[in-house]
Amino acid sequence: MAKFEALLKINPQKVENLSEYITYCKYYFKPKSKSKVESYENIEKLKQDFPIVHRNILSDSKYKKNDTLKDFPLNWLKYEIIGNSKIKTFENDSNLKNSKQISGIYGNTNDLQAYINNLPKYSFAIWFKFKLKTPYFSKDDDEFYIIQNPILKEANFKVPMVRGSSWKGALAHAFRELLGEKEKIESFLRIFGAGSESIKALESYLFDKSKDLKKTQEHLLEFILFELGLKVDKVLIEKIKKIKNKEEVLNILGSKLSQKLSENKKHLPLEFQTHKGRAIFYPTYFDRLTFEIINPHDRRKRAGTNPIHYEVVPKGTEGIFQSIYIPFDGILKDNNELKNEVNKDLNNLCEAFEILTEIGIGAKTKLGWGRFKIEDKKVCVNSDLEIPERWTKCQD
């Protein structure tokens, strides 16, 4: 934040920016009981110290008798700070601008194209604006807050966000729906990398660093099932159980997972060895906040019993997505082979985004939250790559 939040003074009747909003939510006065407020000896001192208490609890007609004092700060936040629109906007907030600048997010594709031009050949960037079709929520770890479910915010500037790692995880999940072909599995591992315990166990056995065959069998099945999300039948399980040496491990990898191994069973392809992914994912920051309520119903009484508040980014909010792909591990590869790989990865990534728009990002996606619509799809390239259908070059 621009200032130390605990020392930040706010006027609770006029919250203007993100810093004041967060400060109110985290530190502002929470009355313990109405009697305690009413018994405050010096009412003028009370009004001076806590103007919202006097103006709202003691005299405001909006205060409802059914509201518990525990919930009062939240109700005040909804009625007075967010107001009739039920949405608080921070469009020109300095913290929002600082977060974007420090994270390296480009506001236009001209500057991004200039950056891509200086990267290794066949690097590209995917950049688009999107609009939320449903609320977005991802829970923050901050326990000292006005409600139990604050939205995830950037650690220093307290701006609501989608982490780059969250984009990566969500996109990898969407990408798994494409994994019916061996070439797409190789593409998946090139884009997102490989460094799990399953990959390490396979690698260790195949390069003679370990002789633990049972552990290799377990991790091979785990890798196919949980990391790639592929279907496994009884025949494949029996095959894995009967593995006796590394040649048979390579046979299964080749027949089930890798076109390269099917053609040449002597080596473990680079895609299946521990490595970083070629794609870098940037965070997205939002400029709006509001509240949603989930009210679980009692089955017998058919009435809500305990409303749960969520701080969310509302439907209709716009954001920017940015990802840069650098084929850093392709320097020694043949030019045509590398170009072919990058073209496949670019097409697969764009296809996965179309799936992700319907799956959604963040939490509560089963309730329909986190859906979005892509509005301005751009690809910045520094060489003669094929631009996927319905996407346009940054230079156009």
| 245 part of a folded domain | yes
What distance in Å separates the CA atoms of residue 15 and residue 20, rounded to the nearest whole number? 6
Residues 330 and 366 in one domain: yes
In a domain, 5, yes or no: no
Asked if the model's pLDDT at residue 196 lies above 80, the reply is: yes
Nearest to 351 by CA among 228, 226, 176: 176
- DSSP secondary structure of 102-144: HHT--SSHHHHHHHHTTSPTT-EEEEEEEEESS-B--B-S--S
> Which residues form the domain of 41?
18-86
Mean pLDDT of the chain: 83
Question: Measured between alpha carbons, how far is 313 from 150 in angstroms, rounded to an integer?
Answer: 11
Type of residue at 176 = R
The residue with greater pLDDT, 4 or 213, is 213
Are 286 and 146 within one domain? yes
CA distances from 303 to 29, 74, 75, 309 (A): 32, 22, 21, 17
Residue 45 lies in a domain: yes
pLDDT in tens, 110-121: 999 999 999 999
Determine, yes or no, domain membership for 297.
Answer: yes
**150 and 283, same domain (yes or no):** yes
Q: Which amino acid is at 381?
A: V
- Angstrom distance (rounded) from CA 95 to CA 158: 8
Residues 74 and 115 in one domain: no
50 has pLDDT over 70:
no
Highest mean pLDDT of the ranges 146-150, 289-293, 342-346: 342-346
Task: Read off the pLDDT band of 76 (50, 70, 90).
Answer: low
- Chain center to CA of 192: 15
Residue 9 placed within a domain: no
Task: Tell me: do 361 and 292 sit in the same domain.
Answer: yes
pLDDT recorded at residue 242: 87
User: Do 65 and 136 share a domain, yes or no?
Assistant: no
- pLDDT per position as a tens digit, 204-228: 888 888 888 888 888 988 888 888 8
pTM to 2 decimal places: 0.82
Q: 376 and 333, same structural domain?
A: yes
In this structure, the answer to whether residues 313 and 386 fall within a common structural domain is yes
Instruction: Out of 86, 117, 132, pick the residue that ends a domain.
Output: 86
Q: Is residue 11 domain-resident?
A: no
173 is a domain residue: no
- Specify if 316 maps to a domain: yes
Torsional sign, CA 188, 192, 195, 198: negative
Point out the domain boundary residue: 235, 250, 272. 272
Domain boundary among 57, 86, 115: 86
Find the DSSP H helices in 134-196.
Answer: 164-175, 182-192
Claim to verify: residue 217 and residue 283 sit in the same structural domain = no
Whether 3 has a pLDDT exceeding 80, the answer reads no
Same-domain status, 244 and 387:
no
Coil, helix or strand for 349?
Answer: helix
DSSP 204: H
Evaluated on CA atoms 300, 303, 308, 310, the torsion sign reads positive
User: 157 with 286, same domain?
Assistant: yes
Tally of domains in the chain: 3
Checking DSSP bridges between strand 284-285 and strand 161-162, what pairing results, if any? antiparallel
The Cα–Cα gap between 387 and 47 comes to 63
Q: Which two tokens stand for residue 208?
A: 């003679």
Q: Both 332 and 249 in a single domain?
A: no
Structure tokens at 10: 């706010």
